[in-house]
Amino acid sequence: MSALYKELQAADSFKIRMPYPFSNYDRQLLTLLYQPLIGAEAAAFYLTLWAEGEVDREEATHYTLMNILGIPIAKVFEARIQLEAIGLLRTYRKDDENRSFIYELCPPLDPKSFFADPLLSMFLFSKIGESAYRRVRDRFVIHTEIGEGYEEVSRTFTDIYQPVHAKAGYPAETKDLQERTNGSYETDSAFDFGLLRQGLSEQLVPNRVLTASIRAMIAKLAFLYSWGPLEMQKVVLLAIDDDYKLTVDGIKKAAADYYKLTVATSAPQLVPVHKTETKPTETEAPKTRQDELILYLESASPVEVLRDIANGKEPLPADVQLANQLVVQYGMEPAVVNVLLQYVLLRTDMKLTKAYVEKIASHWLRKNITTAKDAMELARTEHEQYVKWKSEGSPASSSKAPARSNRGKPVREEKLPEWFYQKDEAPAETSAPKNDNLEVEKQKLLAKLAMKRVKGD
Protein backbone atom coordinates (compact mmCIF):
# COMPACT_ATOMS: atom_id res chain seq x y z
CA MET A 1 0.00 0.00 0.00
CA SER A 2 1.38 3.39 -0.92
CA ALA A 3 2.33 6.07 1.57
CA LEU A 4 -0.49 8.54 2.08
CA TYR A 5 1.73 11.59 1.59
CA LYS A 6 2.21 10.55 -2.04
CA GLU A 7 -1.54 10.74 -2.60
CA LEU A 8 -2.81 13.56 -0.42
CA GLN A 9 -1.59 15.97 2.25
CA ALA A 10 -3.51 18.33 4.47
CA ALA A 11 -1.73 21.35 2.97
CA ASP A 12 -2.80 20.46 -0.61
CA SER A 13 -5.27 22.96 -2.05
CA PHE A 14 -8.49 22.14 -3.89
CA LYS A 15 -11.32 23.72 -5.86
CA ILE A 16 -14.86 22.43 -6.29
CA ARG A 17 -16.53 22.24 -9.68
CA MET A 18 -20.29 21.78 -10.08
CA PRO A 19 -21.19 21.87 -13.79
CA TYR A 20 -24.89 22.22 -12.97
CA PRO A 21 -27.09 22.63 -9.87
CA PHE A 22 -28.31 19.59 -8.01
CA SER A 23 -31.80 19.09 -6.61
CA ASN A 24 -33.33 17.75 -3.43
CA TYR A 25 -34.19 14.61 -5.40
CA ASP A 26 -30.46 14.04 -5.91
CA ARG A 27 -30.03 14.32 -2.15
CA GLN A 28 -32.62 11.58 -1.61
CA LEU A 29 -30.86 9.31 -4.09
CA LEU A 30 -27.53 9.89 -2.39
CA THR A 31 -28.92 9.15 1.06
CA LEU A 32 -31.02 6.08 0.27
CA LEU A 33 -29.14 4.41 -2.60
CA TYR A 34 -25.50 5.44 -2.31
CA GLN A 35 -24.88 5.98 1.40
CA PRO A 36 -25.22 2.25 2.26
CA LEU A 37 -22.53 1.54 -0.34
CA ILE A 38 -19.98 4.26 0.43
CA GLY A 39 -20.57 4.79 4.15
CA ALA A 40 -21.56 7.79 6.22
CA GLU A 41 -18.16 9.51 6.08
CA ALA A 42 -18.01 9.45 2.27
CA ALA A 43 -21.61 10.67 2.06
CA ALA A 44 -20.78 13.53 4.46
CA PHE A 45 -17.73 14.37 2.35
CA TYR A 46 -19.92 14.55 -0.77
CA LEU A 47 -22.53 16.72 0.95
CA THR A 48 -19.81 19.04 2.23
CA LEU A 49 -18.37 19.49 -1.26
CA TRP A 50 -21.92 20.05 -2.52
CA ALA A 51 -22.60 22.79 0.04
CA GLU A 52 -19.25 24.47 -0.54
CA GLY A 53 -19.57 24.15 -4.31
CA GLU A 54 -22.86 26.03 -4.41
CA VAL A 55 -20.92 29.13 -3.33
CA ASP A 56 -18.22 30.58 -5.56
CA ARG A 57 -15.17 30.12 -3.35
CA GLU A 58 -11.45 30.48 -3.82
CA GLU A 59 -8.98 27.69 -3.36
CA ALA A 60 -8.84 26.13 0.09
CA THR A 61 -6.61 23.54 1.70
CA HIS A 62 -7.67 20.14 2.92
CA TYR A 63 -7.34 21.43 6.47
CA THR A 64 -10.75 23.00 5.81
CA LEU A 65 -12.34 19.65 5.04
CA MET A 66 -10.63 18.02 8.00
CA ASN A 67 -12.05 20.66 10.35
CA ILE A 68 -15.57 20.53 8.89
CA LEU A 69 -15.80 16.75 8.86
CA GLY A 70 -13.80 16.20 12.04
CA ILE A 71 -11.72 13.41 10.50
CA PRO A 72 -7.98 13.01 9.77
CA ILE A 73 -6.51 13.35 6.29
CA ALA A 74 -6.39 9.57 5.87
CA LYS A 75 -10.18 9.40 6.30
CA VAL A 76 -10.61 12.27 3.83
CA PHE A 77 -8.62 10.34 1.24
CA GLU A 78 -10.59 7.17 1.96
CA ALA A 79 -13.89 9.03 1.48
CA ARG A 80 -12.62 10.57 -1.76
CA ILE A 81 -11.66 7.30 -3.41
CA GLN A 82 -15.00 5.77 -2.37
CA LEU A 83 -16.82 8.55 -4.23
CA GLU A 84 -14.52 8.21 -7.24
CA ALA A 85 -15.10 4.47 -7.49
CA ILE A 86 -18.89 4.76 -7.29
CA GLY A 87 -19.05 7.50 -9.95
CA LEU A 88 -20.00 10.46 -7.76
CA LEU A 89 -16.71 12.35 -7.99
CA ARG A 90 -14.04 13.04 -10.56
CA THR A 91 -10.67 14.19 -9.31
CA TYR A 92 -8.06 16.14 -11.26
CA ARG A 93 -4.57 16.71 -9.85
CA LYS A 94 -1.89 19.23 -10.79
CA ASP A 95 1.64 18.67 -9.54
CA ASP A 96 3.46 21.98 -9.24
CA GLU A 97 5.42 23.46 -6.40
CA ASN A 98 2.20 23.22 -4.42
CA ARG A 99 -0.01 20.26 -5.35
CA SER A 100 -3.63 21.16 -6.10
CA PHE A 101 -6.84 19.30 -6.92
CA ILE A 102 -10.13 19.98 -8.67
CA TYR A 103 -13.11 18.00 -7.35
CA GLU A 104 -15.94 17.73 -9.88
CA LEU A 105 -19.20 16.49 -8.40
CA CYS A 106 -21.39 14.14 -10.42
CA PRO A 107 -25.07 13.62 -9.59
CA PRO A 108 -26.35 10.16 -8.62
CA LEU A 109 -27.83 7.83 -11.19
CA ASP A 110 -31.59 7.95 -11.57
CA PRO A 111 -33.38 5.04 -9.84
CA LYS A 112 -34.14 3.18 -13.06
CA SER A 113 -30.49 3.20 -14.14
CA PHE A 114 -29.28 2.36 -10.64
CA PHE A 115 -31.46 -0.71 -10.18
CA ALA A 116 -30.81 -1.84 -13.76
CA ASP A 117 -27.07 -1.86 -13.11
CA PRO A 118 -26.07 -5.37 -11.94
CA LEU A 119 -23.10 -4.23 -9.82
CA LEU A 120 -24.77 -1.33 -8.02
CA SER A 121 -28.04 -3.16 -7.39
CA MET A 122 -26.26 -6.29 -6.15
CA PHE A 123 -23.95 -4.17 -3.98
CA LEU A 124 -26.95 -2.46 -2.36
CA PHE A 125 -28.76 -5.78 -1.93
CA SER A 126 -25.76 -7.29 -0.13
CA LYS A 127 -25.47 -4.25 2.13
CA ILE A 128 -29.04 -3.72 3.34
CA GLY A 129 -30.73 -7.10 2.81
CA GLU A 130 -33.74 -8.19 0.81
CA SER A 131 -36.56 -6.52 2.77
CA ALA A 132 -34.87 -3.11 2.95
CA TYR A 133 -33.84 -3.42 -0.70
CA ARG A 134 -37.42 -4.01 -1.82
CA ARG A 135 -38.66 -1.15 0.34
CA VAL A 136 -36.21 1.41 -1.02
CA ARG A 137 -36.79 0.21 -4.57
CA ASP A 138 -40.56 0.55 -4.24
CA ARG A 139 -40.08 4.07 -2.87
CA PHE A 140 -38.84 5.24 -6.24
CA VAL A 141 -41.41 3.38 -8.34
CA ILE A 142 -43.61 5.85 -10.21
CA HIS A 143 -47.07 4.53 -10.92
CA THR A 144 -47.99 5.76 -14.39
CA GLU A 145 -51.24 3.88 -14.87
CA ILE A 146 -53.86 5.96 -16.66
CA GLY A 147 -57.46 5.65 -15.60
CA GLU A 148 -59.80 3.59 -17.69
CA GLY A 149 -61.50 5.43 -20.56
CA TYR A 150 -58.74 7.99 -21.13
CA GLU A 151 -57.14 8.36 -24.54
CA GLU A 152 -53.97 10.32 -25.21
CA VAL A 153 -54.54 13.40 -27.34
CA SER A 154 -51.13 15.08 -26.95
CA ARG A 155 -49.83 16.88 -30.02
CA THR A 156 -46.47 16.09 -31.50
CA PHE A 157 -43.79 18.58 -32.44
CA THR A 158 -44.56 18.31 -36.14
CA ASP A 159 -48.26 18.88 -35.45
CA ILE A 160 -47.55 22.37 -34.13
CA TYR A 161 -44.34 23.47 -35.79
CA GLN A 162 -43.14 23.48 -39.37
CA PRO A 163 -39.89 24.68 -40.92
CA VAL A 164 -39.66 28.05 -42.69
CA HIS A 165 -36.82 28.39 -45.16
CA ALA A 166 -35.68 31.88 -44.29
CA LYS A 167 -32.13 33.18 -44.67
CA ALA A 168 -31.54 33.78 -41.01
CA GLY A 169 -28.16 32.05 -40.74
CA TYR A 170 -27.24 29.29 -38.30
CA PRO A 171 -26.88 29.28 -34.54
CA ALA A 172 -23.35 29.43 -33.25
CA GLU A 173 -21.73 26.24 -32.01
CA THR A 174 -21.97 25.79 -28.26
CA LYS A 175 -19.05 23.57 -27.32
CA ASP A 176 -18.87 24.76 -23.73
CA LEU A 177 -22.39 23.80 -22.69
CA GLN A 178 -22.49 21.14 -19.99
CA GLU A 179 -24.49 17.96 -20.36
CA ARG A 180 -26.13 16.60 -17.22
CA THR A 181 -24.61 13.17 -17.16
CA ASN A 182 -25.41 11.06 -14.14
CA GLY A 183 -22.54 9.74 -12.09
CA SER A 184 -21.59 6.54 -13.85
CA TYR A 185 -18.64 4.55 -12.54
CA GLU A 186 -15.81 3.11 -14.59
CA THR A 187 -14.31 -0.37 -14.47
CA ASP A 188 -10.89 -1.46 -15.63
CA SER A 189 -11.73 -5.13 -16.08
CA ALA A 190 -11.00 -6.31 -19.62
CA PHE A 191 -13.33 -8.85 -21.22
CA ASP A 192 -12.36 -10.86 -24.30
CA PHE A 193 -15.33 -10.34 -26.62
CA GLY A 194 -13.38 -11.96 -29.45
CA LEU A 195 -13.25 -15.28 -27.61
CA LEU A 196 -16.91 -14.89 -26.66
CA ARG A 197 -17.83 -14.37 -30.31
CA GLN A 198 -15.82 -17.42 -31.45
CA GLY A 199 -17.98 -19.80 -29.44
CA LEU A 200 -21.29 -18.37 -30.68
CA SER A 201 -22.47 -19.23 -34.16
CA GLU A 202 -23.96 -16.48 -36.31
CA GLN A 203 -27.12 -18.56 -36.78
CA LEU A 204 -27.84 -18.87 -33.06
CA VAL A 205 -26.55 -15.48 -31.94
CA PRO A 206 -26.38 -12.89 -34.74
CA ASN A 207 -23.66 -10.33 -34.30
CA ARG A 208 -26.22 -7.51 -34.49
CA VAL A 209 -27.72 -8.46 -31.11
CA LEU A 210 -24.44 -7.70 -29.32
CA THR A 211 -25.14 -4.00 -29.12
CA ALA A 212 -23.11 -1.55 -27.05
CA SER A 213 -25.50 -1.79 -24.11
CA ILE A 214 -25.51 -5.59 -24.25
CA ARG A 215 -21.71 -5.71 -24.42
CA ALA A 216 -21.43 -3.37 -21.44
CA MET A 217 -23.84 -5.56 -19.47
CA ILE A 218 -21.90 -8.71 -20.39
CA ALA A 219 -18.67 -7.15 -19.13
CA LYS A 220 -20.28 -6.11 -15.83
CA LEU A 221 -21.87 -9.52 -15.28
CA ALA A 222 -18.59 -11.27 -16.05
CA PHE A 223 -16.89 -9.12 -13.41
CA LEU A 224 -19.68 -9.64 -10.87
CA TYR A 225 -19.73 -13.44 -11.16
CA SER A 226 -15.98 -13.84 -11.91
CA TRP A 227 -16.67 -15.53 -15.23
CA GLY A 228 -14.71 -15.66 -18.44
CA PRO A 229 -15.90 -15.72 -22.07
CA LEU A 230 -16.69 -19.46 -21.97
CA GLU A 231 -19.16 -19.10 -19.08
CA MET A 232 -20.69 -15.99 -20.63
CA GLN A 233 -21.27 -17.91 -23.86
CA LYS A 234 -23.62 -20.21 -21.96
CA VAL A 235 -25.33 -17.21 -20.37
CA VAL A 236 -25.91 -15.59 -23.77
CA LEU A 237 -27.36 -18.83 -25.16
CA LEU A 238 -29.73 -19.03 -22.20
CA ALA A 239 -30.78 -15.40 -22.60
CA ILE A 240 -31.49 -15.21 -26.33
CA ASP A 241 -35.12 -15.79 -27.23
CA ASP A 242 -36.80 -17.54 -30.15
CA ASP A 243 -36.79 -14.34 -32.21
CA TYR A 244 -33.01 -14.03 -31.83
CA LYS A 245 -33.35 -11.02 -29.56
CA LEU A 246 -31.16 -10.26 -26.57
CA THR A 247 -32.25 -7.81 -23.88
CA VAL A 248 -30.47 -6.36 -20.88
CA ASP A 249 -33.03 -7.76 -18.46
CA GLY A 250 -32.94 -11.14 -20.16
CA ILE A 251 -29.18 -11.52 -19.89
CA LYS A 252 -29.24 -10.39 -16.24
CA LYS A 253 -31.83 -13.04 -15.41
CA ALA A 254 -29.96 -15.73 -17.35
CA ALA A 255 -26.73 -14.91 -15.51
CA ALA A 256 -28.45 -15.09 -12.12
CA ASP A 257 -30.09 -18.41 -12.99
CA TYR A 258 -26.83 -19.90 -14.28
CA TYR A 259 -24.99 -18.77 -11.13
CA LYS A 260 -27.63 -20.38 -8.91
CA LEU A 261 -27.36 -23.63 -10.84
CA THR A 262 -23.58 -23.88 -11.05
CA VAL A 263 -22.15 -21.97 -8.07
CA ALA A 264 -24.48 -21.05 -5.20
CA THR A 265 -28.05 -20.07 -4.54
CA SER A 266 -26.99 -16.99 -2.58
CA ALA A 267 -25.95 -13.87 -4.45
CA PRO A 268 -22.26 -12.96 -4.75
CA GLN A 269 -20.89 -10.35 -2.40
CA LEU A 270 -19.04 -7.17 -3.34
CA VAL A 271 -16.33 -6.00 -0.96
CA PRO A 272 -14.07 -2.97 -1.26
CA VAL A 273 -10.50 -3.61 -2.32
CA HIS A 274 -8.25 -0.59 -2.01
CA LYS A 275 -5.74 -0.28 -4.81
CA THR A 276 -3.26 2.54 -5.11
CA GLU A 277 -1.00 3.01 -8.08
CA THR A 278 2.57 3.31 -6.90
CA LYS A 279 5.93 2.59 -8.37
CA PRO A 280 7.54 -0.43 -6.73
CA THR A 281 10.52 0.37 -4.57
CA GLU A 282 13.44 -1.75 -3.54
CA THR A 283 12.21 -1.89 0.07
CA GLU A 284 8.90 -3.43 -1.01
CA ALA A 285 10.53 -6.59 -2.36
CA PRO A 286 10.33 -9.51 0.08
CA LYS A 287 13.72 -10.49 1.46
CA THR A 288 12.93 -13.71 3.31
CA ARG A 289 10.69 -16.69 2.85
CA GLN A 290 8.53 -15.39 5.68
CA ASP A 291 8.18 -12.03 3.93
CA GLU A 292 7.15 -13.78 0.71
CA LEU A 293 4.48 -15.74 2.52
CA ILE A 294 3.17 -12.60 4.24
CA LEU A 295 3.06 -10.80 0.89
CA TYR A 296 1.08 -13.70 -0.59
CA LEU A 297 -1.39 -13.75 2.30
CA GLU A 298 -1.82 -9.96 2.19
CA SER A 299 -2.45 -9.84 -1.58
CA ALA A 300 -4.42 -13.03 -2.28
CA SER A 301 -8.16 -13.32 -1.81
CA PRO A 302 -9.60 -15.98 0.52
CA VAL A 303 -10.98 -17.85 -2.48
CA GLU A 304 -7.50 -17.95 -4.03
CA VAL A 305 -6.05 -19.32 -0.81
CA LEU A 306 -8.70 -22.04 -0.68
CA ARG A 307 -7.99 -22.87 -4.32
CA ASP A 308 -4.21 -23.00 -3.79
CA ILE A 309 -4.52 -25.24 -0.73
CA ALA A 310 -6.69 -27.61 -2.82
CA ASN A 311 -3.99 -27.80 -5.52
CA GLY A 312 -5.87 -25.59 -7.93
CA LYS A 313 -9.29 -27.21 -7.53
CA GLU A 314 -12.30 -24.96 -7.08
CA PRO A 315 -13.36 -24.74 -3.42
CA LEU A 316 -16.80 -25.84 -2.36
CA PRO A 317 -19.47 -23.12 -2.14
CA ALA A 318 -19.83 -23.73 1.61
CA ASP A 319 -16.14 -22.94 2.20
CA VAL A 320 -16.33 -19.84 0.01
CA GLN A 321 -19.48 -18.71 1.80
CA LEU A 322 -17.78 -19.11 5.18
CA ALA A 323 -14.80 -17.03 4.05
CA ASN A 324 -17.06 -14.36 2.56
CA GLN A 325 -19.10 -14.25 5.75
CA LEU A 326 -15.99 -13.52 7.80
CA VAL A 327 -15.01 -10.69 5.45
CA VAL A 328 -18.38 -9.15 4.65
CA GLN A 329 -20.56 -9.77 7.68
CA TYR A 330 -17.96 -9.62 10.45
CA GLY A 331 -15.54 -7.16 8.84
CA MET A 332 -12.36 -9.24 9.08
CA GLU A 333 -9.51 -8.26 6.81
CA PRO A 334 -9.02 -10.73 3.91
CA ALA A 335 -5.38 -11.24 4.90
CA VAL A 336 -6.43 -12.25 8.42
CA VAL A 337 -9.01 -14.65 6.98
CA ASN A 338 -6.29 -16.16 4.80
CA VAL A 339 -4.14 -16.91 7.85
CA LEU A 340 -7.14 -18.35 9.67
CA LEU A 341 -8.02 -20.63 6.74
CA GLN A 342 -4.47 -21.96 6.48
CA TYR A 343 -4.19 -22.52 10.22
CA VAL A 344 -7.50 -24.36 10.58
CA LEU A 345 -7.21 -26.45 7.41
CA LEU A 346 -3.72 -27.73 8.20
CA ARG A 347 -4.55 -28.39 11.84
CA THR A 348 -7.76 -30.30 11.11
CA ASP A 349 -6.53 -32.49 8.26
CA MET A 350 -8.05 -30.22 5.58
CA LYS A 351 -11.47 -30.06 7.27
CA LEU A 352 -12.95 -26.56 7.48
CA THR A 353 -15.16 -26.85 10.54
CA LYS A 354 -17.42 -23.80 10.75
CA ALA A 355 -17.80 -23.78 14.53
CA TYR A 356 -14.05 -24.04 15.09
CA VAL A 357 -13.33 -21.31 12.53
CA GLU A 358 -15.88 -18.95 14.05
CA LYS A 359 -14.56 -19.53 17.57
CA ILE A 360 -11.02 -18.53 16.59
CA ALA A 361 -12.37 -15.69 14.40
CA SER A 362 -14.31 -14.22 17.32
CA HIS A 363 -11.13 -14.25 19.40
CA TRP A 364 -9.18 -12.46 16.66
CA LEU A 365 -11.96 -9.90 16.24
CA ARG A 366 -11.89 -9.11 19.94
CA LYS A 367 -8.12 -8.75 19.69
CA ASN A 368 -8.59 -6.35 16.75
CA ILE A 369 -6.26 -8.31 14.47
CA THR A 370 -5.98 -6.55 11.09
CA THR A 371 -2.80 -7.85 9.42
CA ALA A 372 -1.48 -11.25 8.41
CA LYS A 373 1.62 -10.78 10.54
CA ASP A 374 -0.40 -10.04 13.69
CA ALA A 375 -2.64 -13.02 12.99
CA MET A 376 0.41 -15.30 12.70
CA GLU A 377 1.85 -14.02 15.97
CA LEU A 378 -1.43 -14.53 17.81
CA ALA A 379 -1.81 -18.04 16.38
CA ARG A 380 1.66 -18.88 17.73
CA THR A 381 1.03 -17.50 21.21
CA GLU A 382 -2.48 -18.94 21.58
CA HIS A 383 -1.77 -22.27 19.92
CA GLU A 384 -2.20 -24.32 23.09
CA GLN A 385 -5.56 -22.68 23.78
CA TYR A 386 -6.73 -23.42 20.24
CA VAL A 387 -5.68 -27.06 20.69
CA LYS A 388 -7.92 -27.24 23.75
CA TRP A 389 -10.81 -25.67 21.84
CA LYS A 390 -10.43 -28.25 19.11
CA SER A 391 -10.33 -31.10 21.62
CA GLU A 392 -13.39 -29.78 23.42
CA GLY A 393 -15.32 -29.54 20.18
CA SER A 394 -14.39 -32.96 18.80
CA PRO A 395 -16.75 -35.93 19.29
CA ALA A 396 -13.92 -38.01 20.73
CA SER A 397 -13.44 -35.60 23.61
CA SER A 398 -17.06 -35.84 24.69
CA SER A 399 -17.35 -39.61 24.37
CA LYS A 400 -17.22 -41.76 27.44
CA ALA A 401 -15.01 -44.46 25.98
CA PRO A 402 -12.48 -45.91 28.45
CA ALA A 403 -9.09 -44.28 28.46
CA ARG A 404 -7.42 -47.64 27.81
CA SER A 405 -8.92 -47.71 24.28
CA ASN A 406 -6.18 -45.37 23.13
CA ARG A 407 -3.35 -47.33 24.67
CA GLY A 408 -0.70 -48.41 22.26
CA LYS A 409 -1.99 -46.16 19.46
CA PRO A 410 0.39 -43.50 18.18
CA VAL A 411 -0.77 -39.95 18.84
CA ARG A 412 -1.13 -38.05 15.56
CA GLU A 413 0.89 -34.86 15.58
CA GLU A 414 -0.98 -31.76 14.46
CA LYS A 415 0.05 -30.24 11.16
CA LEU A 416 0.80 -26.55 11.27
CA PRO A 417 1.27 -23.92 8.56
CA GLU A 418 4.82 -23.14 7.48
CA TRP A 419 4.54 -19.64 8.97
CA PHE A 420 3.80 -21.07 12.41
CA TYR A 421 7.52 -21.17 13.09
CA GLN A 422 9.49 -17.95 13.05
CA LYS A 423 11.30 -17.22 9.80
CA ASP A 424 14.72 -18.19 11.21
CA GLU A 425 13.42 -20.67 13.74
CA ALA A 426 13.05 -24.42 13.37
CA PRO A 427 10.83 -26.66 15.51
CA ALA A 428 12.48 -27.59 18.77
CA GLU A 429 13.94 -31.06 18.50
CA THR A 430 13.35 -31.74 22.18
CA SER A 431 9.64 -31.00 22.05
CA ALA A 432 8.66 -33.81 19.71
CA PRO A 433 10.22 -36.15 17.16
CA LYS A 434 10.51 -34.93 13.61
CA ASN A 435 7.27 -35.30 11.74
CA ASP A 436 7.75 -36.27 8.10
CA ASN A 437 4.17 -35.36 7.25
CA LEU A 438 4.70 -31.87 8.59
CA GLU A 439 7.83 -31.44 6.47
CA VAL A 440 5.95 -32.62 3.40
CA GLU A 441 3.15 -30.20 4.11
CA LYS A 442 5.61 -27.35 4.53
CA GLN A 443 7.20 -28.17 1.19
CA LYS A 444 3.77 -28.17 -0.45
CA LEU A 445 3.07 -24.71 0.88
CA LEU A 446 6.39 -23.42 -0.39
CA ALA A 447 5.77 -25.00 -3.80
CA LYS A 448 2.36 -23.36 -4.02
CA LEU A 449 3.88 -20.02 -3.08
CA ALA A 450 6.55 -20.44 -5.77
CA MET A 451 3.88 -21.28 -8.36
CA LYS A 452 1.97 -18.19 -7.28
CA ARG A 453 5.03 -16.02 -7.87
CA VAL A 454 5.62 -17.56 -11.30
CA LYS A 455 2.03 -16.88 -12.33
CA GLY A 456 2.36 -13.30 -11.09
CA ASP A 457 5.48 -12.75 -13.24
Residues 215 and 321 in one domain: no
CA distance 108 to 29: 6
Q: Residue 320 falls within a domain, yes or no?
A: yes
Residues 318 and 443 in one domain: yes
Q: Residue 181 falls within a domain, yes or no?
A: no
Q: Residue 402 falls within a domain, yes or no?
A: no
Element at 21 (helix H, strand E): none
**Going residue by residue through the chain (457 aa), what tens digit of pLDDT does each one get?**
456 777 888 889 999 998 888 899 999 999 999 999 999 999 999 999 999 998 877 788 998 899 999 988 889 999 999 999 999 999 999 988 889 999 999 999 999 889 988 888 888 988 888 899 999 999 887 766 777 888 888 888 778 877 766 665 666 666 665 566 655 666 656 788 888 888 788 878 888 888 888 888 888 888 888 888 888 888 888 888 877 788 888 888 888 887 776 776 666 776 666 544 444 434 456 667 777 888 888 877 787 788 888 888 888 888 888 887 887 678 788 888 888 988 888 877 788 888 888 989 999 999 899 888 898 888 888 888 888 887 776 544 444 444 444 444 444 455 566 666 554 444 444 444 444 555 555 555 655 555 555 445 4
> Parallel, antiparallel, or unpaired: how do β-strands 89-94 and 13-17 relate?
unpaired
Indicate the residue among 54, 86, 108 that finishes a domain.
108
- Residue 209: closest CA among 219, 221, 199, 200: 200
Residues 349 and 215 in one domain: no
Q: Residue 127 falls within a domain, yes or no?
A: no
Indicate the residue among 229, 262, 295 that finishes a domain.
262
In terms of pTM, does the model score above 0.75?
Answer: no
Residue 48: per-residue pLDDT: 94
Residues 256 and 299 in one domain: no
Residues 239 and 383 in one domain: no
Q: In what order do the strands lie in the sheet with 13-17?
A: 60-61, 13-17, 100-105, 89-94
Residues 437 and 297 in one domain: yes
Residues 253 and 204 in one domain: yes
* Count of domains observed in the chain: 3
Q: Residue 92 falls within a domain, yes or no?
A: yes
Residue 119: per-residue pLDDT: 86
CA distance 134 to 143: 16
Residues 209 and 332 in one domain: no
Residues 198 and 322 in one domain: no
Q: Residue 253 falls within a domain, yes or no?
A: yes
Domain that holds residue 85: 4-108
Residue 376: per-residue pLDDT: 87
Residues 300 and 433 in one domain: yes
CA angle 219, 131, 122 (to 5 degrees): 10
Residues 253 and 298 in one domain: no
CA distances from 359 to 140, 220, 326, 340 (A): 42, 36, 12, 11
Residues 84 and 39 in one domain: yes
Indicate the residue among 227, 262, 297 that finishes a domain.
262
